[in-house]
Amino acid sequence: MLRRWPQRGLATAPATLQLQAPQRAFWSQAVEILSRLKPGDAGTSSGDKESDQDSSVPERASSSRGAKGWRPPVPGDVSFPDFLQDAGEGQIAHSKQVFADFARHLRRASDKSQAWDVVKQCRPFVVESGGLRFADVDSDAAGDKVEASEVLQMLPADSFAERTAGSNCRSMFVGATPSKGTIIAANEAVVVALLVDGLHARGQHWETISFFDGYSRERKKWLKARAAPEDTGNDGEARQGAEEQKNVADFVRTTRLWAPARSAYLKSLLAKSRYHKIVQFAREDPRNLDVACESVATMTSLLIGCRKQKDSALARLALDKMSRRNPIAVLPLTFYELAFKSAMQKKNRDEDDVENALWIARVMHDNAGYVLQPDLWFALFNTSLHLKREDCALKAFAMYWSNFRSLHQDNFRRALRKACRLSYPDVVLTMVRQWLAAIGDDVDAEAKTKVASFVLWEMLSSGHPMSAITEMLAIMDSSRIEATSAVLQRVAKMMLDDASSRLSPHDTIKDSLEFWKARSSAVQNSVYVMYVLLQQCLERGWLDECELVVNEIVERRLPGVPCNSIVKAMVANEERERFENSVSMCEVLLESLSRPAFKTLNQQFFEHYLKALLCLGRFAEVREQHARLKLGKRFPKSTAIAVALRDAKAQQM
């Protein structure tokens, strides 16, 4: 028995157009008369007349045209044969051969509308070299013009299904006519499938779509009348008995178009950009989805439709089904990218789209070894954050962190910036940890410093909590990554702002010094940190706390001193007449500084130091320090030092 029909041919043919009801009745009678008088011309004349009418119809088939061009109602004088149960094997074999010739004619006919014009009348016909023509079984057989066993008749698919219930006949059967003759009954679903396949092969896509849609509308009416939904296993079918369920399943199967026709329809929809109908076609019947997953061409059509209609759930389902059907095959990268874009190029993406995109990205990597393009990966990461799905963002990052060293470096920075600006500190810190674990020693210290400082800067700019900043510094400390000076300045200022809201200035500076002391390995330029803290003390008016910073410099024996900032503090003390504070800071520095650090003290430092001693009346110390430090030799052109020494000598006389 025939099961499948290959696609053939490339040509064009005009579409059919149904006559109005009064005209149909008239031409039905006329055709019957002509078939008796001149059998060879009856079918042709009818087909030519309708073909002439079709030539004036525009190429694009609208939905209204598809409805008019479909099979007319069965005439009242037409009777259908009954299923012949006791047909012999030879008779059945001959009938199959005749039906095969008919199918071959439908595939090869250049004008398929002429064949359909004859067949759609549901009257007996025969296949001749010139085409199809109507036949009268009794008159033709009596005149020896044709064997009765070579006469065919197309039955509407619902009538065919009713007559073949309980049998395995799906395409044709040997039927018994009321005149006790035999006739070959053809299933309308098979005829339509052959014509749809042939029209698509000839590039007549609008006709293919119109033809398929016309039959589908009729079939839906039949199924609705029998309460037989397309998808199996619904509540209505579950309540039916076992026998009724079998009958319904047989009816659905008998009236369903063959897979090649559905494949042709799917590809024609793509050719004419009917993307919404592609998605509708795949969703209305699970077997349609099976057809779409049979080949690369049909799968491509479906996934393009999913992308255009932004149906990520259907794209995911199709990928899963095709992967299960081809477990050892590697699907093309295009499949995965189309499915991914159906989720990520949607304007109003939701959490389901993110889940689908994440699943597609994971499957394409695990099953085929593909890696998402950087822009597509960033779209997934970005969408996850906007939808507050931190878990999805981290899953997406975890899939591709090993590629950030080469392929995704720019997008890695983009992802970090996005996470910082959307205030997701946990995501940022996890990403940095995974990145550092991945690169190891393959990236130099300068590159690490740039990335870490970039992250800190973005976190500070986005107002992340101090706890997140502290944790980021701890990560840098453990990896011995140095921060840039600009970042250190902003971090120190933010820490003071945060602590000053709940602590006194003294405790604020003390806590800050302890914090930076514990992370000295991450902040190698400790002199700069001391400079920043002194500047902040001066700006905030915390002059007494400047001495705490100076003591920290001495205690840590730093290789340098922020001398200018210390001089500014001494000037501020002079304005307040707090000379003893200036002298105290200077004495601590002079007693404990190392030789390299001592060399960083400039002329202004010693001028204000001697001035403070002079104002306190400690004239002997002025002369003593001038001699011990060799200030005259070191700064011979300093007028202030010379005047201080002269005044001290004058006061001692």
Quick check: is 212 in a domain?
no
Q: Are residues 70 and 180 in the same domain?
A: yes
Quick check: is 437 in a domain?
no
- pLDDT at position 405 is 55
Q: Are residues 39 and 144 in the same domain?
A: yes
Q: For the whole model, what pTM was predicted?
A: 0.73
| More confident: 137 or 72 | 72
Query: Is residue 37 predicted with pLDDT exceeding 80?
Result: no
Q: Are residues 82 and 178 in the same domain?
A: yes
Q: Which residue among 370, 401, 431 closes a domain?
A: 370
Residue type, 286: P
Q: Are residues 144 and 279 in the same domain?
A: no
Quick check: is 321 in a domain?
yes
Average pLDDT value for residue range 546-557: 89
Pull the structure tokens for residue 366.
């695990």
Instruction: Give the model confidence (pLDDT) of 322-338 as tens digits.
Output: 999 888 888 999 999 99
Question: Strands 152-155, 182-187: parallel, antiparallel or unpaired by DSSP?
Answer: parallel
Quick check: is 91 in a domain?
yes
| More confident: 230 or 67 | 230
Q: Are residues 181 and 279 in the same domain?
A: no
One-character DSSP codes across 131-191: EEEE--HHHHHHTTSS-GGG-EEEEPHHHHHHHTTTS--SSEEEEE-TTS-EEEEEEHHHH
Q: Are residues 277 and 183 in the same domain?
A: no
Average pLDDT value for residue range 68-96: 82
Instruction: Give the model confidence (pLDDT) of 353-374 as tens digits.
Output: 999 999 999 999 888 888 888 8
Quick check: is 251 in a domain?
no
Pull the structure tokens for residue 529.
């940190």
Q: Are residues 44 and 149 in the same domain?
A: yes
Helix (H/G/I), strand (E/B), else coil: 312: helix
Quick check: is 363 in a domain?
yes
Residue 520: which residues within 8 A CB-CB, separation 6 or more? 526, 556
Residue type, 644: A
Residue type, 93: A
User: Across the strands, what pairs with 127?
Assistant: 132
| More confident: 235 or 632 | 632
CA angle 642, 645, 646 (to 5 degrees): 85
pLDDT band at 54; cut points 50, 70, 90 = very low
Q: Are residues 175 and 306 in the same domain?
A: no
Q: How far is CA 120 from the centre of its chain?
A: 46
Direct distance between the N- and C-terminal alpha carbons of the chain, in angstroms, rounded to an integer: 135
pLDDT band at 55; cut points 50, 70, 90 = very low
- pLDDT at position 566 is 92
Q: Are residues 183 and 281 in the same domain?
A: no
Q: Which residue among 354, 370, 386 closes a domain?
A: 370
Instruction: Give the model confidence (pLDDT) of 17-30 as tens digits.
Output: 344 444 444 445 55
Residue 502: which residues within 8 A CB-CB, separation 6 or more? none
- pLDDT at position 139 is 53
Quick check: is 316 in a domain?
yes
Average pLDDT value for residue range 235-248: 66
Instruction: Give the model confidence (pLDDT) of 146-155 as tens digits.
Output: 555 689 999 9
Q: Are residues 147 and 29 in the same domain?
A: yes
- pLDDT at position 132 is 87
Pull the structure tokens for residue 571.
């000037």
Q: Are residues 48 and 154 in the same domain?
A: yes
Where in the sequence is the domain holding 35, given as residue range(s)? 21-53+66-188
Q: Which residue among 370, 394, 426 closes a domain?
A: 370
Quick check: is 283 in a domain?
yes
What percentage of the chain has pLDDT greater than the value 70? 82
Q: Are residues 300 and 178 in the same domain?
A: no
Residue 165: which residues within 8 A CB-CB, separation 6 or more? 247, 250, 251
How many structural domains is the chain composed of?
2
Helix (H/G/I), strand (E/B), else coil: 227: coil
Residue 103 half-sphere exposure toward CB, CA atoms < 13 A: 26
Nearest-angstrom CA–CA distance, 431 and 490: 22
Is residue 199 a contact partner of residue 109, using CB atoms and an 8 Å limit?
Answer: no
Q: What is the mean pLDDT of the chain?
A: 82
Average pLDDT value for residue range 179-195: 89
